[in-house]
Amino acid sequence: MDNSDDSVTTLAYEAEPVMSLQEGEVPQWLDFEAVSRDLADDGVSAPEPFVEGLRTVVTEAGDRGLDLKVVYTEAPAAVYTDARDLAALLNEEYEGTILVRTPVFVGSSSDTIPRHKLEAGQDD
């Protein structure tokens, strides 16, 4: 079986372990400053084809009392914790709940929802 195009399998066989972000470290796998700026106006950072739909989700969450921001990126996060770490880093700048979706991983952070509830929702 040839796994040369399977980035997740490739990462599993790297000679050196791929580490999660360290405290305060900005992710190198995407343009963090651009993502952060993009969230400021409407709570969404995503490629253009997805923006309008995600704005609707953010607005509907707000109507239900949830301060939600969504990052959808096609940037290749290296490890499963990268999406969560990015959400936590953004949560230092933005209040509420941050959901991050990468091509392979989902992560979240919130100053109002406990971690165990976030992770249960992510798994669903």
Give the integer Cα–Cα distance in Å for 120 and 108.
Answer: 11
- How confident is the model at residue 59, as a pLDDT? 97
Q: Which two tokens stand for residue 19?
A: 């580490």
For tokens 């700048």, the residue is: 93
For helices 32-42 and 48-63, the axis angle rounded to 10 degrees is 50
pLDDT score, position 64: 97
Spell out the residues 6+ positions from residue 35 whose beta carbon is closer than 8 angstroms to its own: 45, 71, 73, 86, 90
pLDDT averaged over 10-residue windows placed end to end, the chain, 124 residues: 50 53 73 94 96 98 97 90 92 96 93 91 70
pLDDT at 60: 98
Domain chopping of the chain, boundaries: 24-123
pLDDT given at position 1: 44
